[in-house]
A and B are shown apart, each in its own frame.
Chain A
Amino acid sequence: MIKIVGITFQGVLRDKVFHGILLVAGLFLFIPSASAFSMRQVPQLAITLSLSLTSFLLLLLAVFLGGTSLWKDVERRYTHSVLGGTPISRASYVLGKYSGVSLFVMATAFLLGVLSLAAIWFAAMAYPPDRPLLWLNILIAVFFDALKYVLLVAVAFLLSTVSTSFFLPIFGTIATFLAGSATQNVYDYLQTPQGEQLSAGVKAAALFFYYMLPNFSAFDLKANAIYSLPLDPGGLLLTFAYAAVYIAILLSSASLLFTRRELQ
């Protein structure tokens, strides 16, 4: 399985998608000057833009690598030579590929995190912030952002194991991301007076999706990073555990489905 992780990592590194994304990461250079547009909160705008760009790039990586990595191997029949020609089991193949992609997402997040810190530092040098920046908060926000995308990659893998076309893995993953980011908002809306007036069926459906879909809003610590708001360690721990269990469920299902899949 370690071999598959290595091969996957190498594959992503040589992938054109990744090179394109690296190119987009050049936008970090413009963040310090773009932040100067802010009237009252230049360093905060630099953090906002850095975290947003990081998040956007990681989303692209997660969707395209997660959605195509396993699917492409089956489609191009790399799996035939590897799964037919070596004693590597299907489950290790899925886990290995997933670990490779996830490791890559984490590594990219680290790299983008470093770029973010540099961009924010430059902005804060030129315009000292009113309140001290909490660098640790920024790093934790990037980490949880990456954790969110690692979870999304697991969703993409689950969809890849059942699909014979890339539509489901790619668009299914994007849809899951949007829905998973929105569920908390919808849930909160249900608690308001307007929300209470909704029909029982709509409320039940909303609750079903709320518990069923991954809740991505929990991983959004941008406000804490941007405005130096204190983080809740207990909440972070819970979110981490939530991600771990959710990923484990997704990967077990993916392995199970992939083991049963016929590789024509």
Chain B
Amino acid sequence: MDAIELVDLTKIFPGKKGARVKALDHLDLRVPQGEVFGFLGPNGAGKSTTIKILMGLIRPTQGQARLLGTPATLPQARLTTGYLPENPAFYDYLNASEYLTFIGQSFKLDTTTIAARSETILHRLSLWEARKRPIRSYSKGMVQRLGIAQVLVHQPEIYILDEPMSGLDPIGRALVKEIILELKAAGKCVFFSTHITSDVEAVCDRVGVILKGKLQTVQEVGTLMEKGITGYHIRHRMPGQEIFKESTIRPEELQVFMTNIFQSGEEVILLEPLRKNLEAFFLSIVSQGSSNDQ
């Protein structure tokens, strides 16, 4: 059973003056357990709409969304899921500690478990000092970190994070990436949306690109990285010499070049693959998508 299952998902919003806006267009996607999936797309591509359907906040016009086999429209689908909304907001009159307790109790956790987990999580997300202050007084980054915290407290199987890095400083971003990798190691499924390609590169197993409500492509991030190599940059020198040489070669020349180097007795100081990064890949898809459109 897949963790996330989107079948023929279509969402049409009523627009102004009777116009209809197609936010999602026959989207099919399966994400298995244990995978970290990056959902990449420009603003307004349909990422949040997809996620809101997954969390039962809105209903699809057509098609189905399922979480571990349970239709997303049912509240029990969310028993095994943690959700971080985009620009989250939490009851601002509570403090972080109270909010985590509230979430824990909604999942019927006992008080000691909640207390123990809250303490670990609040420390981890640097909210411990602020835990007794009302959320009203938090900065945007703190609210975002509380958003991550409230996803972790009930230890679900699936984590659905809408723009988890937004509003975070570099330290916060690094922390979130670290947490995602830990979840992956623990065999959990993480599905997150972003428009920043480097986030995907760092943590994702697979990436899906969505554009104007259509899923353009789904790729293994590893394969994509390999496919993207356009050549190598090599720095090498004769042993004992101060001066080194630099060479740039095409991928198919690598074998021959390296053999030559070893035969001449030179040492390799640096070997750097040159590649079209994920951003370029993403941009090419976006530009293709736009040109197809016209």
Contacts and interface: CB of A to CB of B under 8 A. Distances in A.
A260 B157 CA distance: 27
Given A83-B55, A90-B75, 10 more contacts: A3-B102, A7-B94, A77-B89, A80-B57, A80-B88, A84-B52, A84-B83, A85-B83, A85-B151, A264-B52
A88 interface: yes
- Tell me whether chain B's interface is mostly helix, strand or loop, or mixed: mixed
Interface string B44-88: 000000001001111100000000000000011011011111011
Contacts of B91: 7, 11, 78
> Is the interface on chain B under 10, 10 to 19, 20 to 34, or 35 or more residues?
20 to 34
> Is the interface on chain A under 10, 10 to 19, 20 to 34, or 35 or more residues?
20 to 34
B139 to A, nearest CB: 17
B147 interface: yes
Contact of A81 (B76, B88, B98): B88
Interface in A82-140: 82-90
B106 A88 contact: yes
Contact of B76 (A7, A14, A87, A264): A87
A196 interface: no
A27 interface: no
Residue among A78, A84, A86, A89 with the highest chain B CB neighbour number at 10 A: A84
A77 B85 contact: yes
5 contacts: A7-B91, A80-B88, A83-B56, A86-B107, A263-B57
B118 interface: no
Contacts of B55: 80, 83-85
A76 to B, nearest CB: 5
A81 B78 contact: no
B58 A264 contact: yes
B150 interface: yes
A10 interface: yes
B58 A81 contact: no
Contacts of B76: 87
